[in-house]
Amino acid sequence: MSAIVTTLEQRIGRGATTQEFFVNMGPQHPSTHGVLRLVLKLEGETVKDVIPVLGYVHRGVEKMGEHLSYRQFVHLTDRLDYLSALANNWAVAKAVEKAAGIETNERIETIRTLVAELQRIASHQLWWGVFGMDLGAFTPFLYGFRDRERITDILEETIGARLTMNYIQPGGVMFDLHPDFQRKVKEFIAYFRPKLEEYETLLSRNIIAQERMRGVGVLEAAQAVALGATGPVLRASGVAHDLRKSEPYGVYGKVEFDVPVGARGDCWDRYWVRIEEIRQSLRIIEQLIENIPEGKHLLVKPAVRTKVPEGITYSQVETARGVFGVLLVSDGKDVPYRIHVRTPNFNNLWAITRIAPGWRVADLVTMISSLDIVVPDIDR
């Protein structure tokens, strides 16, 4: 009458193994931030390999650029990395100004720096909210957007758009600052500083969030450099490469700020670097907002078809995601012969093929989110 107790393992059979199989993640998937498609090679729930498949929003911007004047091309860069639209505009403006020898004044550069930094904060707020959502917490999404709307309001008052700005153009900026700009930005800083502490309490100090980030998806410095990663992804791996410091443009050379650098290159470092960058951006804005120099905001005629002398110009700016570069090839006409955009996300994305193998699918979502990918910027 002795009942034999069995285990589940015996029921399944001792030698049972799992098979490797492929799973498509995307192009329509809530965690790929758009229409990125990842082909995953899985063994059970463990990721063996990640093969990104691109092009689901490839819009042929570079071909269109060969038919548009330089001023007309600016608005297409809005739609690449739409969360850093102003920085992207700036890259084109900088390239054309450098190539055609257009001078700008102190006021223009200050305005550009101010609005670009405001948008960097807005971009990181959105990333923070979405990152929280990808970790399974919905509240950060609401908090992040609540505060982002304040920046959107300030920018909308001056620029007239919430997302696709088309504001910084060769030779200046489209509109002068709204009379309320200074007051509202100061109000925003006073409002947002305590809120940033709230972010830290809500997510950074949350033990579950920390456990899901610390040590997950380590990208080593040498790997990051060889992959051409830039922005917070590179800095989290310990390389202090920030164009705002290394080759200052705008008025970055005149303000004090630190470049936060991570130690290990895991998801936590990427998280921490971005949160710290918000603080540094607030510092930059605080230093500039009191004394905006007087002057004209636009030194060329608004819709002028600038002629650019023959040659190649490469100019780049630091967006919220990394180095956005514009390679401009001119043959002396008012339309570029060829225009190439080097986008930060294209290079940052490939880090996923190096950091994901060995982790679970749920961690993969954390890693994608920690790279802060904007898909139209990858596909162009």
Residues 327-356 that bind another protein (CB under 8 A): 327, 329, 337-338, 340, 342, 346-347, 350
Residue with tokens 């690449």: 80
State the Cα–Cα distance between residues 50 and 287, nearest whole angstrom. Answer: 44
* The pair of three-digit structure tokens given for residue 323, joined into one six-digit string: 């180095």
**Least distance (Å) between residue 15 CB and another protein:** 35
Q: How far is the CB of 377 from another protein (least distance, A)?
A: 10
| Structure tokens, 89 | 């505009």
At its nearest, how many Å lie between another protein and the CB of residue 156? 9
Shortest distance in whole angstroms from residue 126 CB to another protein: 7
Beta bridge mates, 181? none
Does residue 27 have a cis peptide bond before it, meaning omega lies within 30 degrees of 0?
yes
Stretch near another protein under the rule CB under 8 A, chosen from 21-29, 195-203, 205-213, 260-268: 21-29
Beta carbon of residue 6, minimum distance to another protein (angstroms, whole number): 37
Are residues 201 and 123 in contact, defined by beta-carbon separation less than 8 angstroms? no
Choosing from 49, 149, 157, 220, the residue that interacts with another protein (CB under 8 A) is 149
| CA–CA distance, 375 with 25 (Å, rounded to integer) | 14
HSE value, Cβ hemisphere, 13 Å, CA-based, for 50 = 27
Among 74, 126, 177, 273, binds another protein (CB under 8 A): 126
Asked whether position 232 contacts another protein by CB under 8 A, the answer is: no
Q: Are 372 and 346 in contact (CB under 8 A)?
A: no
Report yes or no: 331 and 313 within 8 Å, Cβ to Cβ: no
Question: Of 129 and 288, which CB lies nearer to another protein in the complex structure?
Answer: 129
Q: Which C-beta is closer to another protein: that of 58 or that of 296?
A: 58
Nearest distance from C-beta of residue 16 to another protein, angstroms = 30
Running DSSP on this structure, what letter comes out for residue 342? E
- Residue from 21, 146, 179, 254 that binds another protein (CB under 8 A)? 146
Cβ(352)–Cβ(38) below 8 Å: yes
Near another protein in 272-301, by CB under 8 A: none
Residue with smaller CB distance to another protein, 32 or 110: 32
Cα dihedral angle (81, 82, 83, 87), rounded to 10 degrees?
70
Return the amino acid letter for 251: V
Of the pair 288, 374, the CB lying nearest another protein is at: 374
Q: Can you tell me whether residue 261 is helix, strand or coil? A: coil
Encoded tokens for 200: 């830290």
Question: For 240, what's the count of Cα atoms within 13 Å in the CB-facing half-sphere?
Answer: 7
Q: What is the token pair recorded at 316?
A: 């780049």
Complex with another protein: residue 130 or 216, whichever CB lies closer: 130
Q: Looking only at residues 36 through 95 of this chain, which bind another protein when binding is defined by CB under 8 A? A: 54-64, 66-67, 75-76, 78-79, 82-83
Nearer to another protein, 228 or 295 (CB): 228
Binding map of another protein across residues 206-225, x = CB under 8 A, - = no contact: -------------------x
> Count residues contacting another protein (CB under 8 A)?
73
Residue number, 89 or 315, with CB nearest to another protein: 315
From residue 236 to residue 265, the character string flagging contacts with another protein as x (rule: CB under 8 A) and all else as - is ---x-x----xx------------------
Stretch that binds another protein, among 157-165, 182-190, 210-218, 363-371 (CB under 8 A): 157-165
Question: Interface residues for another protein in 301-320 (CB under 8 A)?
Answer: 309-316
The values of phi and psi at residue 247, to 5°, are -140, 80
- Nearest approach in angstroms of CB 300 to another protein is 20
Measured from the CB atom, is 55 or 136 closer to another protein? 55
* Closest of 312, 373, 311 to residue 37, by C-alpha: 373
Beta strands 338-342; 323-330: pairing state? antiparallel
* Burial group, residue 125, by CB count within 10 angstroms (0-12, 13-18, 19+): buried
- Minimal distance, residue 335 CB to another protein, in Å: 11
User: Scanning residues 165 to 204, which ones bind another protein (CB under 8 A)?
Assistant: none
